[in-house]
Amino acid sequence: MRFLPDEDHRSYTDTVRRLLADAGPSDAGPCEAARAWAAGDHAPGRALWQALAGTGLPALAVPEERGGLGWFPPELAAAFVEIGRASVPGPLVETVALAAGLPAASGWTARLLSGDRLATVTDPAAGYAVDAQIADVAFVLEGDGLATGTVADAPSRSLDPGRHLVRCVPDEAVAADTRRIRALATLLTAAQLLGAGEALLQGSVEYAKHRQQFGRPVGSFQAVKHQLANVAVALEFARPLLYGGALAVRSDTGADPRDLPAAKTACAHAAHLAARTALQVHGALGYTDEYDLTLPLRKARALHGAWGTRAACHAAVLAGDLLPG
Protein backbone atom coordinates (compact mmCIF):
# COMPACT_ATOMS: atom_id res chain seq x y z
CA MET A 1 0.00 0.00 0.00
CA ARG A 2 1.14 3.55 -0.74
CA PHE A 3 0.33 6.24 1.83
CA LEU A 4 2.38 9.03 0.24
CA PRO A 5 0.49 11.18 -2.30
CA ASP A 6 1.75 11.03 -5.88
CA GLU A 7 2.21 14.01 -8.19
CA ASP A 8 -1.36 13.95 -9.54
CA HIS A 9 -2.74 13.75 -6.00
CA ARG A 10 -0.68 16.75 -4.87
CA SER A 11 -1.54 18.71 -7.99
CA TYR A 12 -5.27 18.25 -7.47
CA THR A 13 -5.04 19.17 -3.81
CA ASP A 14 -3.16 22.36 -4.76
CA THR A 15 -5.90 23.19 -7.28
CA VAL A 16 -8.61 22.93 -4.64
CA ARG A 17 -6.54 24.94 -2.13
CA ARG A 18 -5.88 27.72 -4.67
CA LEU A 19 -9.54 27.85 -5.71
CA LEU A 20 -10.65 28.32 -2.11
CA ALA A 21 -7.91 30.86 -1.39
CA ASP A 22 -8.63 32.88 -4.53
CA ALA A 23 -12.37 32.94 -3.80
CA GLY A 24 -11.95 35.29 -0.81
CA PRO A 25 -12.54 38.00 0.13
CA SER A 26 -15.23 38.22 -2.55
CA ASP A 27 -18.87 37.43 -1.83
CA ALA A 28 -18.16 33.80 -2.79
CA GLY A 29 -15.20 33.46 -0.42
CA PRO A 30 -15.46 30.56 2.06
CA CYS A 31 -15.78 32.66 5.22
CA GLU A 32 -18.29 35.03 3.65
CA ALA A 33 -20.21 32.12 2.18
CA ALA A 34 -20.31 30.35 5.55
CA ARG A 35 -21.70 33.43 7.31
CA ALA A 36 -24.23 34.03 4.54
CA TRP A 37 -25.30 30.37 4.73
CA ALA A 38 -25.89 30.66 8.46
CA ALA A 39 -27.98 33.77 7.85
CA GLY A 40 -30.16 32.03 5.25
CA ASP A 41 -28.47 33.26 2.06
CA HIS A 42 -27.32 30.10 0.28
CA ALA A 43 -26.35 31.60 -3.09
CA PRO A 44 -22.65 32.23 -2.26
CA GLY A 45 -22.27 28.73 -0.82
CA ARG A 46 -23.88 27.13 -3.86
CA ALA A 47 -21.66 29.17 -6.19
CA LEU A 48 -18.60 27.99 -4.28
CA TRP A 49 -19.73 24.37 -4.58
CA GLN A 50 -20.26 24.79 -8.32
CA ALA A 51 -16.69 26.06 -8.61
CA LEU A 52 -15.43 23.04 -6.68
CA ALA A 53 -17.54 20.70 -8.80
CA GLY A 54 -15.93 22.32 -11.84
CA THR A 55 -12.60 20.83 -10.75
CA GLY A 56 -14.18 17.38 -11.00
CA LEU A 57 -14.46 16.88 -7.25
CA PRO A 58 -17.76 14.92 -7.06
CA ALA A 59 -16.79 12.99 -10.19
CA LEU A 60 -13.92 11.43 -8.21
CA ALA A 61 -16.57 9.38 -6.39
CA VAL A 62 -18.30 7.99 -9.49
CA PRO A 63 -17.05 5.34 -11.94
CA GLU A 64 -16.48 6.34 -15.55
CA GLU A 65 -19.34 4.19 -16.82
CA ARG A 66 -21.72 6.35 -14.75
CA GLY A 67 -20.29 9.63 -16.02
CA GLY A 68 -17.62 10.21 -13.37
CA LEU A 69 -13.85 10.09 -13.32
CA GLY A 70 -13.48 6.92 -11.26
CA TRP A 71 -13.37 5.79 -7.64
CA PHE A 72 -10.73 7.90 -5.86
CA PRO A 73 -11.30 8.07 -2.07
CA PRO A 74 -7.74 9.30 -1.25
CA GLU A 75 -8.11 12.28 -3.59
CA LEU A 76 -11.57 13.02 -2.21
CA ALA A 77 -10.19 12.91 1.33
CA ALA A 78 -7.43 15.36 0.40
CA ALA A 79 -9.97 17.73 -1.17
CA PHE A 80 -12.21 17.62 1.88
CA VAL A 81 -9.28 18.41 4.16
CA GLU A 82 -9.06 21.69 2.23
CA ILE A 83 -12.84 22.16 2.39
CA GLY A 84 -12.68 21.69 6.15
CA ARG A 85 -9.75 24.05 6.44
CA ALA A 86 -11.74 26.74 4.61
CA SER A 87 -15.04 26.05 6.45
CA VAL A 88 -17.01 25.72 3.21
CA PRO A 89 -20.74 25.45 4.08
CA GLY A 90 -23.39 23.06 2.87
CA PRO A 91 -24.14 19.31 2.82
CA LEU A 92 -21.12 18.61 0.62
CA VAL A 93 -20.14 15.37 2.34
CA GLU A 94 -23.65 14.04 1.86
CA THR A 95 -23.85 15.22 -1.77
CA VAL A 96 -20.64 13.44 -2.75
CA ALA A 97 -21.47 10.30 -0.77
CA LEU A 98 -24.87 10.04 -2.46
CA ALA A 99 -23.34 10.60 -5.89
CA ALA A 100 -21.09 7.63 -5.14
CA GLY A 101 -23.86 5.31 -3.95
CA LEU A 102 -26.91 6.15 -6.05
CA PRO A 103 -27.46 4.12 -9.22
CA ALA A 104 -27.38 5.85 -12.58
CA ALA A 105 -31.04 4.94 -13.05
CA SER A 106 -32.00 7.24 -10.18
CA GLY A 107 -31.41 10.23 -12.44
CA TRP A 108 -29.67 12.17 -9.69
CA THR A 109 -26.04 11.24 -10.32
CA ALA A 110 -25.50 13.52 -13.31
CA ARG A 111 -27.16 16.46 -11.58
CA LEU A 112 -25.02 16.02 -8.47
CA LEU A 113 -21.84 15.79 -10.55
CA SER A 114 -22.57 19.11 -12.24
CA GLY A 115 -22.65 21.01 -8.95
CA ASP A 116 -26.06 22.46 -9.79
CA ARG A 117 -27.81 20.34 -7.16
CA LEU A 118 -27.20 19.57 -3.50
CA ALA A 119 -28.38 16.42 -1.77
CA THR A 120 -28.47 15.30 1.82
CA VAL A 121 -29.12 12.10 3.73
CA THR A 122 -29.85 11.26 7.33
CA ASP A 123 -26.91 10.33 9.52
CA PRO A 124 -28.07 6.92 10.85
CA ALA A 125 -26.57 7.44 14.31
CA ALA A 126 -28.13 10.87 14.82
CA GLY A 127 -31.34 10.52 12.86
CA TYR A 128 -31.13 13.91 11.16
CA ALA A 129 -30.19 15.22 7.73
CA VAL A 130 -28.04 18.33 7.41
CA ASP A 131 -29.68 21.22 5.54
CA ALA A 132 -32.56 19.11 4.22
CA GLN A 133 -34.71 22.24 4.12
CA ILE A 134 -32.62 23.74 1.30
CA ALA A 135 -31.24 20.61 -0.40
CA ASP A 136 -32.66 19.74 -3.80
CA VAL A 137 -33.31 16.20 -2.62
CA ALA A 138 -33.17 14.44 0.75
CA PHE A 139 -32.81 10.75 1.52
CA VAL A 140 -33.32 8.65 4.62
CA LEU A 141 -30.72 5.99 5.39
CA GLU A 142 -31.89 3.25 7.73
CA GLY A 143 -29.78 0.12 8.09
CA ASP A 144 -29.17 -1.23 4.59
CA GLY A 145 -32.07 0.69 3.08
CA LEU A 146 -32.30 4.06 1.39
CA ALA A 147 -35.46 6.02 0.63
CA THR A 148 -36.33 9.48 -0.54
CA GLY A 149 -37.20 11.70 2.39
CA THR A 150 -39.64 14.43 3.30
CA VAL A 151 -38.88 17.11 5.88
CA ALA A 152 -40.84 16.29 9.02
CA ASP A 153 -39.85 19.09 11.41
CA ALA A 154 -38.64 22.64 11.30
CA PRO A 155 -34.84 22.77 11.12
CA SER A 156 -32.82 23.40 14.24
CA ARG A 157 -29.27 24.72 14.36
CA SER A 158 -26.36 22.67 15.54
CA LEU A 159 -23.35 24.05 17.39
CA ASP A 160 -22.24 25.25 13.97
CA PRO A 161 -24.76 27.93 12.91
CA GLY A 162 -24.13 27.00 9.28
CA ARG A 163 -25.51 23.48 9.83
CA HIS A 164 -29.27 23.05 10.15
CA LEU A 165 -30.40 19.67 11.44
CA VAL A 166 -33.66 18.34 10.02
CA ARG A 167 -35.74 15.26 10.78
CA CYS A 168 -36.98 13.49 7.66
CA VAL A 169 -39.44 10.66 7.12
CA PRO A 170 -38.92 8.04 4.39
CA ASP A 171 -41.05 7.97 1.27
CA GLU A 172 -40.14 5.70 -1.66
CA ALA A 173 -37.37 3.11 -1.39
CA VAL A 174 -34.35 3.63 -3.65
CA ALA A 175 -31.85 0.98 -4.68
CA ALA A 176 -28.39 2.16 -3.67
CA ASP A 177 -25.00 1.07 -2.38
CA THR A 178 -25.65 2.17 1.20
CA ARG A 179 -22.36 0.73 2.45
CA ARG A 180 -20.44 2.96 0.06
CA ILE A 181 -22.54 5.98 1.05
CA ARG A 182 -21.85 5.44 4.75
CA ALA A 183 -18.16 4.67 4.29
CA LEU A 184 -17.52 7.71 2.12
CA ALA A 185 -19.51 10.03 4.40
CA THR A 186 -17.46 8.83 7.38
CA LEU A 187 -14.19 9.33 5.50
CA LEU A 188 -15.02 12.81 4.24
CA THR A 189 -16.29 13.94 7.64
CA ALA A 190 -12.98 12.82 9.14
CA ALA A 191 -11.18 14.77 6.42
CA GLN A 192 -13.16 17.91 7.18
CA LEU A 193 -12.28 17.56 10.86
CA LEU A 194 -8.59 17.25 10.03
CA GLY A 195 -8.76 20.37 7.87
CA ALA A 196 -10.61 22.33 10.55
CA GLY A 197 -7.99 21.27 13.10
CA GLU A 198 -5.17 22.40 10.84
CA ALA A 199 -6.84 25.78 10.32
CA LEU A 200 -7.23 26.18 14.09
CA LEU A 201 -3.59 25.29 14.72
CA GLN A 202 -2.34 27.67 12.05
CA GLY A 203 -4.50 30.51 13.36
CA SER A 204 -3.41 29.85 16.95
CA VAL A 205 0.28 29.81 16.06
CA GLU A 206 0.01 33.10 14.15
CA TYR A 207 -1.92 34.75 16.97
CA ALA A 208 0.53 33.50 19.60
CA LYS A 209 3.36 35.19 17.70
CA HIS A 210 1.72 38.61 18.03
CA ARG A 211 -0.36 38.60 21.21
CA GLN A 212 1.66 40.26 23.97
CA GLN A 213 1.56 39.46 27.68
CA PHE A 214 4.05 40.74 30.24
CA GLY A 215 5.87 42.41 27.37
CA ARG A 216 6.42 39.16 25.44
CA PRO A 217 4.54 37.23 22.75
CA VAL A 218 2.47 34.52 24.43
CA GLY A 219 3.96 32.05 21.98
CA SER A 220 7.29 32.39 23.75
CA PHE A 221 5.88 30.84 26.94
CA GLN A 222 6.67 27.16 27.37
CA ALA A 223 3.14 26.23 28.45
CA VAL A 224 1.69 27.67 25.24
CA LYS A 225 4.37 26.00 23.13
CA HIS A 226 3.54 22.64 24.69
CA GLN A 227 -0.18 22.98 24.01
CA LEU A 228 0.39 23.91 20.37
CA ALA A 229 2.90 21.08 20.00
CA ASN A 230 0.37 18.60 21.37
CA VAL A 231 -2.14 19.74 18.74
CA ALA A 232 0.46 19.43 15.98
CA VAL A 233 1.30 15.88 17.08
CA ALA A 234 -2.38 14.86 17.24
CA LEU A 235 -3.01 16.18 13.73
CA GLU A 236 0.14 14.55 12.38
CA PHE A 237 -0.83 11.19 13.83
CA ALA A 238 -4.38 11.46 12.44
CA ARG A 239 -3.31 12.15 8.85
CA PRO A 240 -1.90 8.69 7.98
CA LEU A 241 -4.95 7.08 9.55
CA LEU A 242 -7.13 9.21 7.29
CA TYR A 243 -5.35 7.96 4.18
CA GLY A 244 -5.32 4.43 5.55
CA GLY A 245 -9.07 4.80 5.90
CA ALA A 246 -9.28 6.03 2.30
CA LEU A 247 -7.48 2.90 1.10
CA ALA A 248 -9.87 0.78 3.15
CA VAL A 249 -12.86 2.53 1.55
CA ARG A 250 -11.26 1.89 -1.83
CA SER A 251 -10.93 -1.80 -0.83
CA ASP A 252 -7.21 -1.96 -1.59
CA THR A 253 -5.55 -5.31 -1.07
CA GLY A 254 -4.04 -5.38 2.40
CA ALA A 255 -5.98 -2.35 3.61
CA ASP A 256 -7.24 -2.63 7.17
CA PRO A 257 -10.97 -1.84 7.52
CA ARG A 258 -10.34 -0.65 11.09
CA ASP A 259 -8.44 2.34 9.71
CA LEU A 260 -11.68 4.11 8.74
CA PRO A 261 -13.30 4.24 12.22
CA ALA A 262 -9.83 4.82 13.70
CA ALA A 263 -9.36 7.77 11.34
CA LYS A 264 -12.73 9.25 12.27
CA THR A 265 -12.04 9.15 16.00
CA ALA A 266 -8.42 10.34 15.60
CA CYS A 267 -9.39 13.30 13.39
CA ALA A 268 -12.26 14.19 15.74
CA HIS A 269 -9.94 14.07 18.76
CA ALA A 270 -7.27 16.17 17.04
CA ALA A 271 -9.79 18.78 15.89
CA HIS A 272 -11.36 18.95 19.35
CA LEU A 273 -7.92 19.44 20.93
CA ALA A 274 -7.14 22.13 18.35
CA ALA A 275 -10.42 23.92 19.13
CA ARG A 276 -9.86 23.82 22.88
CA THR A 277 -6.29 25.08 22.51
CA ALA A 278 -7.38 27.83 20.12
CA LEU A 279 -9.84 29.12 22.72
CA GLN A 280 -7.14 29.10 25.38
CA VAL A 281 -4.65 30.92 23.17
CA HIS A 282 -7.11 33.50 21.85
CA GLY A 283 -9.02 34.14 25.06
CA ALA A 284 -12.27 36.06 24.63
CA LEU A 285 -11.46 36.78 20.98
CA GLY A 286 -12.08 33.12 20.24
CA TYR A 287 -15.78 33.58 21.07
CA THR A 288 -16.22 36.53 18.69
CA ASP A 289 -18.54 35.79 15.78
CA GLU A 290 -16.73 38.24 13.49
CA TYR A 291 -13.40 36.45 13.93
CA ASP A 292 -12.79 33.92 11.13
CA LEU A 293 -11.32 31.31 13.45
CA THR A 294 -14.71 30.76 15.08
CA LEU A 295 -15.88 29.08 11.85
CA PRO A 296 -13.57 26.01 12.01
CA LEU A 297 -13.85 26.06 15.79
CA ARG A 298 -17.61 25.55 15.71
CA LYS A 299 -17.46 23.16 12.78
CA ALA A 300 -14.96 20.95 14.59
CA ARG A 301 -17.28 20.65 17.56
CA ALA A 302 -20.37 20.03 15.41
CA LEU A 303 -18.72 17.31 13.30
CA HIS A 304 -17.23 15.50 16.28
CA GLY A 305 -20.06 12.96 16.45
CA ALA A 306 -21.28 13.12 12.84
CA TRP A 307 -21.08 9.90 10.80
CA GLY A 308 -19.62 7.93 13.67
CA THR A 309 -19.56 8.83 17.34
CA ARG A 310 -16.46 8.17 19.38
CA ALA A 311 -18.05 5.16 21.08
CA ALA A 312 -19.28 3.70 17.77
CA CYS A 313 -15.86 4.15 16.15
CA HIS A 314 -14.10 2.48 19.08
CA ALA A 315 -16.55 -0.42 18.89
CA ALA A 316 -15.93 -0.79 15.14
CA VAL A 317 -12.16 -0.85 15.65
CA LEU A 318 -12.48 -3.58 18.29
CA ALA A 319 -14.80 -5.57 16.04
CA GLY A 320 -12.61 -5.10 12.96
CA ASP A 321 -15.44 -3.39 11.07
CA LEU A 322 -15.15 -0.75 8.37
CA LEU A 323 -18.24 1.17 9.43
CA PRO A 324 -19.04 2.59 12.86
CA GLY A 325 -22.44 1.46 14.12
Q: How many residues are recorded in the chain? A: 325
Contact (Cβ atoms closer than 8 angstroms) between residue 258 and residue 320: yes
Question: Is 20 inside any structural domain?
Answer: no
Query: Max CA-CA distance within the chain?
Result: 66
* pLDDT surpasses 80 at 310: yes
Q: What is the pLDDT of residues 55-111, one digit of tens each?
A: 999 999 999 988 899 999 999 999 999 999 999 999 999 999 999 999 887 889 999
For 66, 174, 175, 184, the CA distances from 105, given in Å and listed in that order, are 10, 10, 9, 21
Amino acid identity for residue 279 in this structure? L
User: Which is more confidently placed, 167 or 156?
Assistant: 167
Question: Is 315 inside any structural domain?
Answer: yes
Q: Provide the pLDDT for residue 3.
A: 57
Determine the structural domain holding residue 278 and report its residue range.
Answer: 180-319
Task: Provide the CATH number for the domain around residue 209.
Answer: 1.20.140.10
Question: Is 97 inside any structural domain?
Answer: no
Reported as a pLDDT band with limits 50, 70 and 90, residue 283 is confident
* pLDDT surpasses 80 at 215: no
Residue % of the chain over a pLDDT of 90:
72
* pLDDT surpasses 80 at 1: no
> 90's torsion region: left (phi>0), alpha (psi -120 to 50) or beta?
left
Name the average pLDDT for the chain.
Answer: 91
Mean pLDDT, range 109-135, rounded to an integer:
93
Question: Is 199 inside any structural domain?
Answer: yes
pTM to 2 decimals?
0.94
For 193, 194, 292, the CA distances from 93, given in Å and listed in that order, are 12, 14, 22
Question: Is 233 inside any structural domain?
Answer: yes
Please give the Cα distance from 54 to 77 (Å, whole number). Answer: 17
Contact (Cβ atoms closer than 8 angstroms) between residue 321 and residue 258: yes
Q: What is the pLDDT of residues 23-41, one digit of tens each?
A: 654 445 799 999 999 999 9
Contact (Cβ atoms closer than 8 angstroms) between residue 104 and residue 66: yes
**What is the dihedral angle through the alpha carbons of 304, 310, 312, 317, rounded to the nearest 10 degrees?**
120
Three-class SS state of 6: coil
Q: How many domains does the chain have?
A: 1
Q: What is the pLDDT of residues 218-238, one digit of tens each?
A: 666 777 889 999 999 999 999
